[in-house]
Amino acid sequence: MQRSDLKEIAIVGLGLIGGSFFKAAQKAGYNVRGIDRNDPVEVSNSDLVIIALHPTLTVKWLLEHAADLKKGALVIDVCGVKSAVIKELAPKMNGSFTFIGGHPMAGKEVSGFENSDAELFRGASMILTPFPQDQKIAEDIVPFFTELGFKEVIFTTPEDHDKRIAYTSQLCHLVSSAYLRDELALKRSGFSAGSFRDLSRVGAPDPELWSELFLMNKTELLPVLERMIERLTDFQTAIANDDRESLISQLAEGQAIKEKLQGEEK
């Protein structure tokens, strides 16, 4: 899809992510229309529609407004789970438009349009999960995302996306939230530095959204969470038994993986 093919872009949902897509596309010189979920819908002239709503609202909006879309339009959702959304939508596609699942690997620990930023996607990756028959269309839209600042576009399946995101994103929010729900959290003044800040930074800033993401991806999230609990239990057992050798071994294993990851980032 050439830039000349994108005469009008519509962004549905103007929170942090949708608002950032709106600002980034506008900055890149595209004719972009922002549609809040309560606004009258006008997408009949939009060549590309990006839906930036919660997963259930994404499905609801597309099913309600499929007939309003321009014939041949490309529709991309950007919510944080893919399999559940596509499972709901796939049987009801009418073939008049192309739907591709998407997920930008960018965000903040705050939400809302007021916190959106045209530079939010700078250096980030954009994940796309097209149906096999739509791979060429997905590849053609890559230049649009790079214009918005994305460093790369990664293609994968909805199932692979959900498995990886359960670990790299959802588990992090669960751990952060659990960490903060301790009686000492509000007594940390003067006794905290970078460690507290790093671990408390995410913590599922939008409980309505994140609870929905966790439950819609529970098939992939539960095994990851169970493995995390097992590793914490190993630490608990070692400390309770004064087993310094076990502690050293576990910490060294984590440190070795950390150093390997840091080396890959250079």
Give the per-residue pLDDT at 266.
Answer: 64
Q: Where in the chain is the domain with CATH 1.10.3660.10?
A: 161-265
Q: How far apart are CA 151 and CA 160, in angstroms?
A: 20
| Phi, psi at 161, each rounded to 5° | -55, -50
Scanning the structure block, which residue is given the tokens 């739907």?
99
Structural class in CATH, domain 161-265: mainly alpha
| Cα torsion angle, 120, 123, 124, 130, sign | positive
Please indicate, yes or no, whether the overall pTM of this predicted structure exceeds 0.95: no
Residues near 231 by beta carbon (within 8 Å), at least 6 away in sequence: 250
Give the per-residue pLDDT at 240.
Answer: 98
Q: Which of 175, 181, 182, 221 is nearest to 199 (CA)?
A: 175
Per-residue model confidence as pLDDT tens for the chain (266 residues) = 777 789 999 999 999 999 999 999 999 999 999 998 777 788 999 999 999 999 999 999 999 999 999 999 999 999 999 999 999 988 877 788 999 999 999 988 888 999 999 999 999 999 999 999 999 999 999 999 999 999 999 999 999 999 999 999 999 999 999 999 999 999 988 888 889 988 988 887 789 999 999 999 999 999 999 999 999 999 999 999 999 999 999 999 999 999 999 888 76
User: Can you say how many angstroms the Cα of residue 29 is from the centroid of all Cα atoms in its chain?
Assistant: 25
Structural class in CATH, domain 3-156: alpha beta
* DSSP H helical ranges for 202-243: 207-216, 218-240
Q: Which of 250, 161, 262 is nearest to 213 (CA)?
A: 161
| Phi, psi at 82, each rounded to 5° | -115, -45
Give the per-residue pLDDT at 41.
Answer: 83
Scanning the structure block, which residue is given the tokens 């995101």?
165
Could you tell me the two tokens for 135?
A: 């791979």
Q: Where in the chain is the domain with CATH 3.40.50.720?
A: 3-156
Give the per-residue pLDDT at 121.
Answer: 97
Give the per-residue pLDDT at 183.
Answer: 93
| Phi, psi at 164, each rounded to 5° | -70, -40
Q: How far apart are CA 161 and CA 180, in angstroms?
A: 28
Could you tell me the two tokens for 171?
A: 């588990």
- Helices 207-216, 55-65: inter-axial angle, 10-degree rounding: 80
Give the per-residue pLDDT at 254.
Answer: 96
Give the per-residue pLDDT at 204.
Answer: 74
Give the per-residue pLDDT at 201.
Answer: 86
User: Can you say how many angstroms the Cα of residue 31 is from the centroid of all Cα atoms in its chain?
Assistant: 25
Distance (Å) of CA 15 to CA 12, 53, 186, 264? 9, 8, 29, 33
